[in-house]
Chains A and B, each alone.
Chain A
Amino acid sequence: MSDNAPTHVKNVPVTLDAGELRTEAKQADEADDVACARAPIGLLAELTHRCPLQCPYCSNPLELERANTELTTEDWQKVMREAAALGILQIHLSGGEPTLRRDLVDIVKTASECGLYTNLITAAVTMKRDQLEQLKEAGLDHVQISIQDVDTAAENADRIAGYKGGSEKKKIVAGWVRELGLPLTINAPIHRHNVYNVENIINYAVALDAGRVEIAHVQYYAWALKNRAALMPTREQFNEAAKIVERKREELKGVLVIDAVVPDYYAKYPKPCMGGWGRGIINVTPSGQVLPCHAAESIKGLEFDSVRDKPLGEIWLFGSAFQKYRGTDWMKEPCRSCPRREIDYGGCRCQAFALTGDAANTDPACSLSPLHEQWANVAEVESHQPSPDFVYRRMGGSAPKTPAQKTPEPSDA
């Protein structure tokens, strides 16, 4: 948080969804005093992995769950009741594209009746006005719409998402959201094909009457890792974007809240992934698997429980995957004796596993990792080479095709 005014309210430093960090790391003494000491505060409900978009930075796992394995309406309603009983405060209804679930209204209604704060994270392109009205009626609290670029760069936006007409539809739906009096967040994943447009994206969020915008640099896990060379901005581009964010925060104070997610390749310290493993956030997959983070299935050897078999609270407290990397006891050096061990929790376990073969190793995003230099150099090299074609994310498509036509990419920031 940039505001240091004398404050009587404290930000709870673990508002996350889709694995993206929203707030900066807090001091260790402060971290001990958060609401989530014993119970999670947020639940990321991935209602389905189906999605009409084909974004090259998709945050869903490499293995998508099929529609016929998805939880039933009753299953999700049970999850909502158990979540509220466990002490969860906010539900992030995500996907894939959550509005493709025909029972979304019923799920929102139950969550709302349980006192949960409901947040819909949507690509918006399949949204219908009456569906949004019903969701509001059911108690929906907030809508987050992702965009790929501004409306005057619709062609670029639609190319990135692999969905013709998407940019225009998102704008229409954003208008409905505000007409219905719902608060709106615009989420903009940032990469080399739009990083030069960050200021316009922020202005566009204001024009759409959003209260909040996320300048969310792509995180290079799962599918996004396949497209790293096509997406990674240069350090100079990243620095320029960061300066713009700081300036706009001042300029738009009280008008638009701007949250920024840093690409960890260019960060000083690793991210406290999910605010610490099994600490504040719980994730339920479309088929009911309960994960400490949406990418946790990429770590081989972890075993996950299902909401079909056990209560959510039991899984949170005693599930072996949650126990495995919770707290600091699992740490090896250099994490174990590090003064930042309860600030960044050794970074991202999934990234540590993917790059070192052991999830208990220090995340290579940390300068103390022996792999750090080599890893950080990858960004330097790739970001200065011409962008290869995107490998689009297509449900069920194991052989990705390159796009038919390619919009020329602006060569500078």
Chain B
Amino acid sequence: MADAVPRTRAIIDAATRPVIPPYIKLRHDEGRGRWHILAPERIFEPDDTAVEVLKLCDGERSVGDIANVLAKEYNAPQEEILGDISAMLQDLADKGVVKA
């Protein structure tokens, strides 16, 4: 057997700059009137919050930056949003939808 490649789980924190890899497609489905995340042999249905967050995952913004953007937009406390989207992005990273 080949030597094990040292790959580890990406842990999401405020400094992480998440990015959607090119083979993950966030697409709006006109016919069904909803968003889909198309992934290798999987399809996910993101809710509105997840779509908002994913659109901001450009590999430049940190999770903290994304929380700031959303805090302003929704006039909500930044810490609360940070906690919420960190958990969401960890879930998405574990599913392979975003990379840290």
Contact residues of A with B, CB < 8 Å? 3, 5-12, 15, 17, 22, 35, 39, 41, 87, 89-90, 92, 115, 117, 119, 141-142, 144, 150-152, 171, 181-183, 185, 200, 203-204, 206-209, 211-212, 253-255, 257
Are A142 and B40 closer than 8 Å at their CB atoms? yes
- A144 CA to B45 CA, complexed, in Å: 23
Instruction: List chain B residues, Cβ under 8 A from A183.
Output: 21, 23, 40, 96
- A17 CA to B1 CA, complexed, in Å: 28
- Set A5, A8, A206: member contacting B7, Cβ < 8 A: A206
- How many chain B residues have a CB neighbour from A under 8 Å? 42
Q: Is B55 an interface residue (CB 8 A)?
A: no
Q: Is B90 an interface residue (CB 8 A)?
A: yes
Instruction: List chain B residues, Cβ under 8 A from A6.
Output: 87-88, 91
| Chain B proximity of A147: nearest CB distance (Å) | 12
| Chain A proximity of B64: nearest CB distance (Å) | 19
Are A9 and B50 closer than 8 Å at their CB atoms? yes
Are A142 and B9 closer than 8 Å at their CB atoms? no
Q: For residue A208, which residue of chain B has the nearest CB? A: B2
Instruction: List chain B residues, Cβ under 8 A from A144.
Output: 40-41
Are A15 and B41 closer than 8 Å at their CB atoms? yes
Q: Is B73 an interface residue (CB 8 A)?
A: no
Are B41 and A142 closer than 8 Å at their CB atoms? yes
Instruction: List chain A residues, Cβ under 8 A from B43.
Output: 11-12, 15, 35, 41, 89-90
A15-B41, A253-B94 are contacts. A141–B25 as well, Cβ < 8 Å? yes
- A41 CA to B5 CA, complexed, in Å: 34
Are A87 and B5 closer than 8 Å at their CB atoms? no
- Set A5, A22, A150: member contacting B91, Cβ < 8 A: A5
- Set B1, B31, B44: member contacting A9, Cβ < 8 A: B44
Instruction: List chain A residues, Cβ under 8 A from B29.
Output: 35, 87, 89
| Chain A proximity of B99: nearest CB distance (Å) | 10
Q: Taking A142-B41, A207-B4 as given, write out 9 further A-B residue pairs in contact, using a Cβ cutoff of 8 Å, ordered by the A residue number.
A: A3-B91, A5-B90, A5-B94, A11-B44, A15-B43, A17-B41, A212-B40, A255-B9, A257-B96
Are A115 and B27 closer than 8 Å at their CB atoms? yes
Q: Is B93 an interface residue (CB 8 A)?
A: yes
- A211 CA to B22 CA, complexed, in Å: 14
- Set B2, B40, B45, B87: member contacting A141, Cβ < 8 A: B40
Instruction: List chain A residues, Cβ under 8 A from B49.
Output: 8
Segment 18-48 of B: residues with Cβ below 8 Å from A: 21-23, 25, 27, 29, 31-32, 34, 36-38, 40-47
